[in-house]
Amino acid sequence: MKSVAEDLPPIDIAGGKLVGRLLVGLLLFISALVGATAGLLLVYTTDLPQVEALEAYRPSSITELYDDHGRVIGSFALQRRVVAGYDDFPPVLRDALISIEDKDFYRHSGINFWRIAGAAYRDIRSGGRVQGASTLTMQLARNLFLSPDRSFHRKVEEALLAIQIERRFTKPQIFTLYANQIFLGHGVYGFESASEFYFSKVARQLTLPEAALLAGLPKGPGVYSPINHPERALKRRNLVIDAMLEDGKITSAQAETARSTPLVLNLQHDPNSLAPYFVEEIRRYLETKYGADQVHEGGLKVYTSLDMDLQKAANRAVLDGLATYERRHGWKGHLENITTEGILIDKYQHPDWENQPEVNEYVHAVVTSAGVGIATVKFGQYLAAIGQADVAWTQKKIPELLRPGDICYVKILALNANGAARVTLEQDSGTQGSLVAIDNATGAIKALVGGRDFSESKFDRATQALRQVGSSFKPYVYTAVIDRGASPDDTILDEPVTFETESGPYSPHNYDEKYEGVISLRRALAQSRNIPALKLADKVGIKTVIDYAERFGITSRMPPYLPVALGSAEITLVEQTSAYSVFPNDGVRVTPRYITKVTDYEGRVLEEDYPEVKDVVSERTARIMTAMLREVVLHGTGIAASKLAFPVAGKTGTTNDFTDAWFVGFSPTMTCGVWIGFDEKKSLGDKETGARAALPIWMNFMTVAMAGKDPGQFQAAPIVPSTNFAQKLDTPDAATGGDETQ
């Protein structure tokens, strides 16, 4: 009888040992793999940025400037970004972005392993480096903390950071960080800023085609730019729409309608272009006080004194006034031609074209063709034909004026959606103009024009240019006399006179080379007679006159020479304009100001500016002087302004050889100053006085500024009986030089 053991199969001792060895080896391999992975993780995470920093993270954002009605007039930024919240991004934009960039965004934990494996497989087969397959969270990690290189090392760091971000933040928080951080072309960061830049609307108002266009940009902002590559952008947009349809985010009908919608942009007009000289003045001040980093990255809110509507009126008044002057002096030619420099016409870009053009603007255009009776010009995306009627003022034929490649200056009369425009030929011979408008009660600068074209010259002729002010200085002379008891009805002898000075005899003359004999002070100022002004200044002393000018706020250096009474001193336009506001303010000077308030990113007030006032002259003197300056408008050199429908007063100014033309004047509520001249001190031309060159600009601006407003009335001047003050000037020892120290 056999035992049970005899019926069992023999044990394969050798095979069992092999299996045991395999198991042990596998365990050792797994241990080694785990150890190596842990080691790699340790290596890669040792120097990883601390994700905790994201809790206090705030992206670089725009510092915005607002006018007195809360409208944006300018901005400063290294990265053009408007920070928005999750709810500011509409569902259509969120769906579009997730469908094209990360379908499983709301389901994964930071990494999509299947996409990574697929991308890795494709890259290995093609011999490339690991790339693609990044989730939104991984893209966020890369944009915030890592370099853009596509190495395996960077990919591992990206994945590890994504996991940490997902553990610490909610999906809406991650999406918001991503949507504010991502670069979307043309210096724009974040979808809120992109919506404003490409479509001139906030993100909440985006349509499906617009949202799909923006969602397609993160893959390649330069490649798919709707500005530079509209055809690529359109294909990419439609790909996003298809992805949304595939994910069930939109219906077939919605997708079909969206795909058939043409690509239409409404590029945001650069707010800095409205008042560039004013904005630059603000920038210099802010950087001095808060530092460049805070100004360009800190997201400050700067509330300014400017009025956007008045600034537009000022821009137009100055440019129209310069155009009128240019036409008065005929065509000078000498146009730059780009073909002589080897530049192709269809490749040329002028700085003027960076902004969306507007009707009534003046821009430079390139001539694309020119023939008998007609020429064609291009500016930006617009083409315009110039006919003989458009150049009639030149008294020349078109072939004499223009040739292909010439850079000419035109005024835009109409813009059509099909890219056609209507323009007239103008001229830029180098004349410049500036304008400053100040609210009398607050000192707030409501409009400031510093020159013809900021893109060509950053020099601010309103705040930086020291120019001789001509007869617009004379009110300080008369103020000194009136303040010392003289009456507007006092008389003075307008006759040839010679003043003895330390440097020799000084024999001035009147503008018209004529003399009126005995005239009142009122008429002497209204007609801008030189001899009476010099006699008055000599009597009270030129140093006294300068002292009065300084009390009015003039800080520019004025040497104590008698010709200063006729405006030989060099003063800035903003100083002169602010000084004149003392007259309608009953003798009180309000320091001009640009800023009313500055807040930081969190809304905390950093500074708040209130009007700074100072008594300059008595109410009596101020009202008498206002009445005398009113005579300048009613019966004197500024009589052209008498046709205005509201009360105004002011003074013309013209310098020797007609190098500078001024008009500074005021209504009861606003003071405005205008200057015209060349940057180099050369003549504007014969008879180009302040009344002819500057006053029309002043009138055009003030007409708009006062429209629809209560202009107010000037306070009545006290009646002052005639005294003997002025009569003493004509005694034999009167013209002795006073305290003149020339």
Helix ranges (DSSP H) in 247-383: 252-260, 276-290, 292-297, 308-328
Distance of alpha carbon 733 from the chain centroid: 57
| In 630-683, beta strands by DSSP E | 649-654, 660-666, 670-678
Closest CA to 138 of 189, 84, 173, 174: 174
SS3 label, residue 640:
helix
Whole-number Å distance between alpha carbons of 472 and 60: 48
Whole-number Å distance between alpha carbons of 384 and 413: 10
Helix ranges (DSSP H) in 131-229: 136-145, 152-168, 171-181, 191-199, 208-215
Query: 593 - beta bridge partners?
Result: 444
SS3 label, residue 509:
coil
Q: Indicate the helix (H) or strand (E) that contains 20.
A: helix 13-46
Separate counts of helices (H) and strands (E) for the chain? 22, 25
Whole-number Å distance between alpha carbons of 110 and 120: 17
Which residues are catalytic, by number?
101, 471
Widest CA span of the chain, in angstroms?
169
Whole-number Å distance between alpha carbons of 288 and 291: 6
Long-range contacts at 549-557 (CB < 8 A, ≥ 24 apart): 549/473, 549/476, 549/579, 551/589, 551/616, 551/617, 552/476, 552/479, 552/579, 552/582, 552/589, 552/616, 553/578, 553/579, 553/582, 553/589, 553/591, 553/616, 554/579, 556/466
Whole-number Å distance between alpha carbons of 329 and 322: 11
CB 372 within 8 A of CB 381: no
Q: Indicate the helix (H) or strand (E) that contains 16.
A: helix 13-46
DSSP secondary structure letter of residue 107: T
Burial tier of 39 (Cβ tally within 10 Å: 0-12, 13-18, 19+): exposed
SS3 label, residue 357:
coil
Please list, in sequence order, all residues whose beta carbon lies within 8 angstroms of the beta carbon of residue 710, skipping any fewer than 6 positions away: none
Burial tier of 166 (Cβ tally within 10 Å: 0-12, 13-18, 19+): buried
Phi, psi of 561 (to 5 degrees): -110, 145
Joined together, the tokens standing for residue 405 give 């490649």
Whole-number Å distance between alpha carbons of 312 and 317: 9
Closest CA to 367 of 352, 346, 391, 388: 346
